[in-house]
């Protein structure tokens, strides 16, 4: 099961490396999932939503991008989940493509 480890927090995402598996302080990943599994995309999206809600927009953007990359690969570009992730990223960036700063 994938879950956020709430007892471990940091203001640094360690450079948002290319793999969810590198986010060990943040996520505990079941070894049955590969890096391109749709559940991994959902986890990236959910963590990005959390960061967005906390106002951590520059940390959220690469997570949305990775979630979208995985979803497009594993589910296809027309899948509803892929569309949701794409819309979340668009909302974060705003109409002009820049990250919203509130």
The pLDDT tens digits for 23-42 are 544 455 555 778 889 999 99
Does 12 score more than 80 pLDDT?
no
Does 10 score more than 60 pLDDT?
no
Residue 23: C-alpha distances to residues 28, 31, 60, 68, 81 (Å): 8, 14, 13, 17, 22
Pairing of strands 27-28, 3-4: antiparallel
Both tokens of 87, joined, read: 């819309």
Q: What is the pLDDT of residue 94?
A: 87
For residues 88 and 93, give the distance between their C-alpha atoms in angstroms, rounded to a whole number.
Answer: 9
Both tokens of 56, joined, read: 């951590």
Q: How far apart are the first and last CA of the chain?
A: 34
Tell which CATH architecture fits domain 27-102. Alpha Horseshoe (1.25)
Comparing C-alpha atoms, which of 18, 40, 38 is closest to residue 29?
A: 40
């Amino acid at each position: 099961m994938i879950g956020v480890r709430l007892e471990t927090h940091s203001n640094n995402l360690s450079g948002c490396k290319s793999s969810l598996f590198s986010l060990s302080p943040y996520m505990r990943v079941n070894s049955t999932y590969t890096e391109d599994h749709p559940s991994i995309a959902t986890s990236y999206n959910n963590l990005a939503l959390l960061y967005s809600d906390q106002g951590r927009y520059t940390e959220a953007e690469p997570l949305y991008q990775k979630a979208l990359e995985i979803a497009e690969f594993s589910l296809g570009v027309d899948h509803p989940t892929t569309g949701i992730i794409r819309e979340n990223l668009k909302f974060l960036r705003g109409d002009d493509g820049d990250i919203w700063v509130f």
